[in-house]
A and B are shown apart, each in its own frame.
Chain A
Amino acid sequence: MPRMPSPVKSPELSGPDRDRVAQVGIDLAMKNRCGSYLQMDQDVVHAECSEQGIEVLSFKKAMEKYDGMKEYTWQAVSPEKDDITRYVAAQKDPEGYVIIAHKGSNNILPIQACLYLGREQIQHVHNIIVAEEGAELHIISGCTSGEHVGKGGAHYGISEFFVKKDAKISFTMIHNWSENIEVYPRSASIVEDNGVFLSNYVCMQPVKKIQMYPTATLKGVNTVARFSSVVISTPGSYMDLGSRAILEGTGASAELITRAITKGGTIISRGHINGKTAGTRGHLECKGLILKDGLIYAIPEIEGSVVGTELSHEAAVGKLAKDEIEYLMSRGLDEDEATATIIRGFLDVKIAGLPEALQKQIDASIDEAEKAGF
């Protein structure tokens, strides 16, 4: 009999901050989650998993238990990559989460990981996520800050993913920061034979600056990577987002999809697929909607160097079409309802292979933005 997960205790959270945590998909009551990790600033508040064969540990505990996690630590992301990685690598007391799905295990209910920034400072985390041979691991990561972070703060997050043979990881990240927070995730994944890596990113709320360019290296044969990003940028938000897939194994395929809306903020949408082996396929798609003057700068890159790699990209930036709005108005929706319905459709990206609970969570955070009138 699996143990029942216990509710996450977070005495420091005020009512409004609890709501903010819920908005990024974190269920403190643990109703539809099988495990949880909660880090507030640099303190690990909760780390537990009730699913057999899956461990949720703090970085520190994992280091002790698995002799420094040498096989994984700094193996996907280089500590010398940039100032952010150097800063995290130089920490004497690193924290973060380590989630290991041991051979053959799987979780139907996702594990939730919440990184919460409550004080003016730099929160740094180092996360390692491993799905061993044949394992299937679903994670929702909610990142948010407290109502009163004062002059601001920053979040530096290293995440290293290892998808072993025949394994699968889905990682859904929902951000709800605020106008004074800077965010620098640095993540990379290594996918082995027949492995599947799904990465979903949702950010509907203001942020001062976010800069990330997660990379999946598809080393093994018949590997799959799918990245999807759904973002809205409000005035004052600067979002430099990208995703990269390196296709090394025969039969590897990647799909990188972005839906970007600016309401006055900046979005730089990068994408890069590198087809290094014959029999690989990749598609990159970025669609942008400019609702108010701002910037959407799409930089799709496809790079093929061998016969037998097939890569394509599609990028479009535009405005809401008047004929589409009027079409819905002729069915009885007023202009605002028609506009919201079209935007909701624009953001509706269905991710193949994602458990229903996670798709619902993504839909819910977009619904939340819709209710607020986008």
Chain B
Amino acid sequence: MLLIEDLHVKVGDKEVLHDINLHIKEGETHVLLGPNGSGKTTLLMTIMGFASYSITEGKIAFKGEDVTKMKAHERAQRGIGMLFQRPPTISGLKLGKMLSAISRTKDEDIAELAKSVHMDKFLERDINKGFSGGEIKRSEVLQLMIQNPDFVMLDEPESGVDLENISLIGTAIGSLLEKEKHLIKRKKSGLVITHTGFILDYIDADKGHVMCDGEIKCHGNPREILKDIKQRGYKECLECRHQ
């Protein structure tokens, strides 16, 4: 599904990602762990195709096609989607209007989907304006439900969300990733940034990667890595893995 080879990324004059290699197969969900500022969000923004993240070396292939030079909307149209941790507020633009703009389905479906994540009362509100943490995430999930990407990137889907909302958002994300389907039948893939690991209860992740200083330092079972990090912190965890 997604193949990243020898990727180097600059933001401004500074190289922030060094020699990233990552292979996510169809139906797999990977977890990206790492301390704040290690480059996790940068990697997601680069995969999405945001202009400020310039790829200086390496390539990104999606479903066998080289997307390295494509713009964000071309990647989105090919099936890459992203849940933002802190999406911008767009004054005046109503959530419902945005959903209609990105949707190829009918308006009735939008209302129905909005109801399923308790966002039906927000369709006439400006996007993200005055939304709480949980509301922002529900709005993001709703946009992804309508976009229906084959590869879903989730940047801290549980941050700023209370326990009740985590269950709602987690279940919706699980279904975006076709977690209710049998392993063999799953077509959707994902890449998830998490600090708490709460989201892992809903998405049944396959692999974990730890990022530090713009590099992927180690790989393994996501729950085990998370357990190590929780017990010993990132510093010791990384040292341990390097031994």
Task: Return the contact of A329 from the options B72, B88, B93, B94 (Cβ within 8 A).
Answer: B72
Q: Which of A317-340 contact B (CB under 8 A)?
A: 321-324, 326-335, 337-338
Name which of A125-133, A181-189, A344-352 contacts chain B. A344-352
Q: Is B48 an interface residue (CB 8 A)?
A: yes
Task: Return the contact of B97 from the options A322, A332, A335, A341 (Cβ within 8 A).
Answer: A341
Given that A330-B48, A332-B102 are known contacts, is A344 also in contact with B73, CB under 8 Å in the complex? Answer: no
With the chains together, A324 CA to B72 CA distance in Å?
13
Chain A window 43-68, contacts with chain B (Cβ cutoff 8 Å), 1 for yes, 0 for no: 00000000000000000000000000
Chain A residues contacting B93 (CB-CB under 8 Å) are 341-342, 344-346, 348
Chain B's closest residue to A349 (CB) is: B92
Chain A residues contacting B51 (CB-CB under 8 Å) are 322, 326
Task: Return the contact of A327 from the options B77, B81, B87, B126 (Cβ within 8 A).
Answer: B87
Q: B126–A345 contact, CB under 8 A?
A: yes
With the chains together, A342 CA to B98 CA distance in Å?
9
Given that A326-B50, A326-B51, A341-B101 are known contacts, is A332 also in contact with B90, CB under 8 Å in the complex? Answer: no
Q: How many A-B residue pairs have CB under 8 A?
A: 76
Chain B window 163-192, contacts with chain A (Cβ cutoff 8 Å), 1 for yes, 0 for no: 000000000000000000000000000000
With the chains together, A337 CA to B48 CA distance in Å?
18
Given that A338-B73, A345-B126 are known contacts, is A328 also in contact with B94, CB under 8 Å in the complex? Answer: no
Chain A's closest residue to B87 (CB) is: A327
Q: A335–B91 contact, CB under 8 A?
A: no
Chain B residues contacting A348 (CB-CB under 8 Å) are 92-94, 97
Chain B residues contacting A332 (CB-CB under 8 Å) are 73, 76-77, 102, 147
With the chains together, A259 CA to B82 CA distance in Å?
32
- Closest-CB distance, B33 to chain A (whole angstroms): 23
Q: Which of A159-205 contact B (CB under 8 A)?
A: none
Given that A341-B97, A344-B97, A345-B126 are known contacts, is A329 also in contact with B92, CB under 8 Å in the complex? Answer: no
Task: Return the contact of B73 from the options A334, A347, A349 (Cβ within 8 A).
Answer: A334
Chain B window 27-66, contacts with chain A (Cβ cutoff 8 Å), 1 for yes, 0 for no: 0000000000000000000001111000000000000000
Chain A's closest residue to B126 (CB) is: A345
Q: Which of A196-233 contact B (CB under 8 A)?
A: none
With the chains together, A349 CA to B126 CA distance in Å?
12
Q: Is B115 an interface residue (CB 8 A)?
A: no
Q: A335–B90 contact, CB under 8 A?
A: no
- Closest-CB distance, B164 to chain A (whole angstroms): 27
Q: A323–B91 contact, CB under 8 A?
A: no
Q: A345–B91 contact, CB under 8 A?
A: yes
- Closest-CB distance, A48 to chain B (whole angstroms): 38
Q: Is B122 an interface residue (CB 8 A)?
A: no
Q: A335–B73 contact, CB under 8 A?
A: yes
Task: Return the contact of B147 from the options A323, A331, A334, A346 (Cβ within 8 A).
Answer: A331
Q: Is B194 an interface residue (CB 8 A)?
A: no
With the chains together, A336 CA to B83 CA distance in Å?
22
Chain B residues contacting A333 (CB-CB under 8 Å) are 73, 101-102
Q: A323–B88 contact, CB under 8 A?
A: yes
Chain B window 91-109, contacts with chain A (Cβ cutoff 8 Å), 1 for yes, 0 for no: 1111001100110000000
Q: A342–B90 contact, CB under 8 A?
A: yes
With the chains together, A224 CA to B210 CA distance in Å?
61
Residue of B91, B92, B97 most packed against chain A (CB within 10 A): B92
Q: A330–B76 contact, CB under 8 A?
A: yes
Q: Is B84 an interface residue (CB 8 A)?
A: yes
Chain A's closest residue to B79 (CB) is: A332
With the chains together, A302 CA to B141 CA distance in Å?
43
Q: A345–B97 contact, CB under 8 A?
A: yes
Chain B residues contacting A329 (CB-CB under 8 Å) are 49, 71-73, 76
- Closest-CB distance, B77 to chain A (whole angstroms): 5
With the chains together, A260 CA to B236 CA distance in Å?
56
With the chains together, A322 CA to B88 CA distance in Å?
10
- 18 of the cross-chain contacts (CB-CB < 8 Å) are A324-B88, A326-B72, A327-B87, A327-B88, A329-B49, A329-B72, A330-B50, A330-B82, A331-B98, A332-B102, A333-B102, A335-B73, A341-B93, A342-B93, A345-B92, A345-B94, A345-B126, A347-B92
10 closest cross-chain pairs (CB), A and B: A345-B93, A345-B92, A332-B76, A329-B72, A329-B73, A331-B102, A346-B92, A323-B88, A334-B73, A330-B72
9 new A-B contacts at CB < 8 Å, known A330-B49, A331-B143: A326-B50, A327-B90, A331-B101, A333-B73, A333-B102, A342-B90, A342-B93, A344-B97, A346-B91
Residue positions of B touching A, CB distance < 8 A: 48-51, 71-73, 75-77, 81-82, 84, 87-88, 90-94, 97-98, 101-102, 126, 143, 147
Residue positions of A touching B, CB distance < 8 A: 259, 287, 321-324, 326-335, 337-338, 341-342, 344-349
